[in-house]
Amino acid sequence: MASKESKPTLRPKAAKAAKAPKGPKFRVMVCGKHARPRKLPYIPEPGFDGQKRYTRYLQPGQKRGGCLCDYYDYPQLLHERMHVRPNVKKPKKPFPLLKLPAELRNKVYEFAVTADEAIEFCPEPYFYTGLGTKHRREGDWHDDFDRAKAHHKQAMKQAARSAALIRVNKQLRSEVTPIFYGENEFRFSNITGWIGLDFFLYKLGLNKCKMLRKISVCHPDCVRMPKSLTEGADFDDGSPFLPLGQSNDRAFNYETRWFDLKITTDPALVLQKAGKLKQLRLVSPANTHNTFDYNPFDLKRFKDLEVSVVSLRYDKFQIMGSQAAGYPWMYKNPEAAKTMAEHHLEKTGEQWKYADIVIDEYGRY
């Protein structure tokens, strides 16, 4: 009887002991050497650049930056190091660049980091009605926007490769950074441009904002603000190289940039505080018929700032006759920039340079 009674108690215990213990799986960082915290993803998500979420424990004699996982909180640097080409030939004797006189080094830097064309963050032609999903990207304009976006993406990659010189060491960073931001023109041309510039300046910080010299931006009166979250998601598409919708930084308060009754003035305030801008182009995008006769920037805060107004047009956005009644922004005065410059001259006595431009198939002007 004792053996019969012991069977039902021994068999479950034996079966339970035979199973493998359920412990935490071993997770590794991208380097494949160091343990990864449980809640930390293998590849960092976009929008968290520069936020401290992982710090490797250093052994005696080790330095920060000696392992791939040290760049986890900097996705751009991590991507560059993960995709470096192993077959790159290294010269036997490196060129002594840092031993050259400062004047010659600056010439080399200008040649290396100055882009062939302006760096565009909010490319044209971008069609946005602000009337909801029913009118989202009607027609074949979205194909033109995708083509322009692909072109500017390649230009952006070229600029990023040249800017990699900034990350070689501290000396090159201090010498190249002012030239990169000072010699290149940064554009925010379509109707999302004012918000895009706001986010761009926020990510740069005031010290780098002081290095900016050339900016082209959509005038705040030309921004067609979304009325809902759905329209806001469509609005985000106009800034493909600025992660507006993915911004998780509470200090930026992205949604309040358009849902407030009055559009933000932060871009003007930041650049006025920096006070180093030399060339400013106020843009009337192709997808608007709005005009303006005032400058959102206080010229007294700058020294020798050259201001001009640019009106962009795109042939496929032009609708004539009764069709233009439902979309009043679809017909644009071919001399809109000239008219705005004349009104500004009558109002303030200040002469604006102006240009009425028809953009090409890649949104260039």
pLDDT digits (tens, 9 = 90+) for 283-320: 999 888 888 889 999 999 999 899 999 999 887 665 54
The pLDDT of residue 261 is above 70:
no
pLDDT level of residue 325 (50, 70, 90 thresholds): very low
What does pTM read for this prediction? 0.78
Q: With 90 as the cut, is the pLDDT of residue 263 above it?
A: no
pLDDT tops 80 at residue 176: yes
pLDDT value of residue 323: 47
Q: What is the pLDDT of residues 103-129, one digit of tens each?
A: 999 999 999 999 888 999 999 888 776
Instruction: For residue 25, name the pLDDT band (cuts at 50, 70, 90).
Output: low
Q: Supply the pLDDT for residue 126.
A: 85
CA 359 to chain centroid, in Å, comes to: 22
Write out pLDDT tens, residues 212-227.
999 999 999 988 777 7
Q: Whose CA is closest to 75, among 105, 53, 103?
A: 53
Q: Picking from 23-37, 112-126, 253-267, which range would have the lowest pLDDT averaged per residue?
A: 253-267
Confidence of residue 23 (pLDDT cuts 50, 70, 90): very low
| 40-76 pLDDT tens trace | 787 776 555 545 678 888 888 888 888 888 888 877 7
